[in-house]
Amino acid sequence: MKTKITLVLLLFIGLNFGFAQQDEECISKLSIFHEYTKAKNYDAAYEPWMAVRSKCPKYSNAIYIDGEKILNHKIDNSTGAEQIAFINDLVKLWDERALHFASKTPKGEYAAKACQLMYDNKVVLKKTNDDLYKCFDDAYNLDKATFTNPKSLYTYFSLMVDLYDAGKKPSADLFNKYDDIAEKVEDEVKNYSEDLNKIIEKEEAKTALSSKEKKYKKYYESYLKAYDQISSGIDQKLGDRANCENLIPLYTKDFEANKTNAIWLQRAAGKMSEKECTSDPLFFKLVNAYHDISPSANSAYYLGILKDKEGKTNEAIKFYEQAIGLETDKFKKSKLYYRVATKFKAKHSYSKARDYYRKALSLNPSNGRPYIAIAAMYAASANNCGTTTFDKRAVYWLAAQEAEKAARVDPTMSKAAAKSAASYKHKAPQKAEIFSSGRAGQTITIGCWIGSSVKVPSI
């Protein structure tokens, strides 16, 4: 029996066992509760798990991994005082894990989990928004690097908005916290995008992915989807609270005290740009002050916006190019290329816009938005590119191909991109038209600014 139990335990890959101080009862009960937990029989697992937790808390990290599942089951299936006791015990379990397995218990991550647990059960725990916000704020400041859970980041900001609406937080705190969370989300998106890009590049090179790479691809995609939802969520939560009517007087009041604070100037200029407050003289003051004390890609980009507002397109382009040249981070440079491309697209400078979109893609191939933008430009040019009605409508096949690329590489917009591709295909010549044209399987050269070719589908 002892040999059998030992063999079972050796299968627990990655778990730290204190074999030097083995306890026969702990070995036996750990095996029992682990098997029950795998079978999702959490009620049966509870008693042997509690015994091991009490007697051998340092014995294995499985005590804490399985214990979290067991207590979550107990919380979901209890009410009143009993449920409160289980909630508090789960928080206590995470504290014990941090004590005995500190290297496997990131501080920010587990502090945020405890706050989220209390938030999700705030009614039964009688927690106020003030209590909960302080909990999240303490967790964030404790270890920002590992406070990465998308749901908790959203909850953290949502609580700030609720406190602002209740008159308990000033607008400056609200906007600062928005910037904090938005920058944190962007950092996480960058990290996962860079990891996903390596896999996308292998796929584009027709290199077979290993089973491990396929698993990681799904993992990266799931997190990018979550962060995309959270990014949209915090923008919706902020809503019109950050409009020009609120931003301009706030930043005007605080300008003198912060005119040498590069971070404050960057955030203020960025927020005014984002909310289309760039016509106000304050934006000019912010941008020039920022560029004077900290010339950067961001400050050059904002100067480009100023020149655009003045109708000085050539000067604006010079500043945009300067911004791109100053940026050394590939992910951020890709975003700049995308932003500048979108400005060219708005001016119907489609060829130039496509060049910039493609440069954005070369630096961040898992971002599908440039593909969608190129597809839209192709579709908008369908009536102008081609000599016959058939050739003109063939442009929609090119548009569909670009949209399909977005659906393939970008997990955050796969459904929307696939829908766009289907719409473009519907506008292209259909089977009956292809048959009557006699051009099935032929290649059509598309002129004008597009300068590409597309193959007519075989029927």
> For the segment 256-275, what is each residue's pLDDT rounded down to a tens digit?
999 999 999 999 999 999 99
Identify which of 308, 329, 330 has the alpha carbon closest to the alpha carbon of residue 319: 308
Q: Is 313 exposed, middle or buried (0-12, 13-18, 19+ CB in 10 A)?
A: middle
Measured CA to CA in angstroms, residue 256 lies from 251, 266, 306 at distances of: 9, 15, 21
What is the greatest pairwise CA distance in the chain? 85
Measured distance between the N- and C-terminal CA atoms of the chain, rounded to whole angstroms: 68
Q: Which amino acid is at 80?
A: G
Cα separation, 402 vs 425, in Å, equals: 12
> Is 446 within 8 Å of 422 (Cβ atoms)?
no
| pLDDT tens string 385-411 | 988 999 999 999 999 999 999 999 999
Q: Which amino acid is at 346?
A: A
Q: What is the pLDDT of residue 459?
A: 79
Cα separation, 116 vs 135, in Å, equals: 9
Cα separation, 391 vs 389, in Å, equals: 5
Cα separation, 436 vs 427, in Å, equals: 17
Cα separation, 168 vs 186, in Å, equals: 28
- How many CB atoms lie under 10 A from the CB of residue 330? 15
Structural tokens at position 37? 């937990």
| pLDDT tens string 161-181 | 999 999 999 999 999 999 999
Identify which of 428, 327, 313 has the alpha carbon closest to the alpha carbon of residue 379: 428
List of residues 6+ apart from 417 with CB closer than 8 A: 368, 371, 372, 403, 404, 406, 407, 410
From first to last of its 459 residues, the chain has per-residue pLDDT tens of 444 444 344 434 344 444 444 578 899 999 999 999 999 999 999 999 999 999 999 999 999 999 999 999 999 999 999 999 999 999 999 999 999 999 999 999 999 999 999 999 999 999 999 999 999 999 999 999 999 999 999 999 999 999 999 999 999 999 999 999 999 999 999 999 999 999 999 998 889 999 999 999 999 999 999 999 999 999 999 998 999 999 999 999 999 999 999 999 999 999 999 999 999 999 999 999 999 999 999 999 999 999 998 999 999 999 999 999 999 999 999 999 999 999 999 999 999 999 999 999 999 999 999 999 999 999 999 999 988 999 999 999 999 999 999 999 999 998 999 999 999 999 999 999 999 999 999 999 999 999 999 999 997
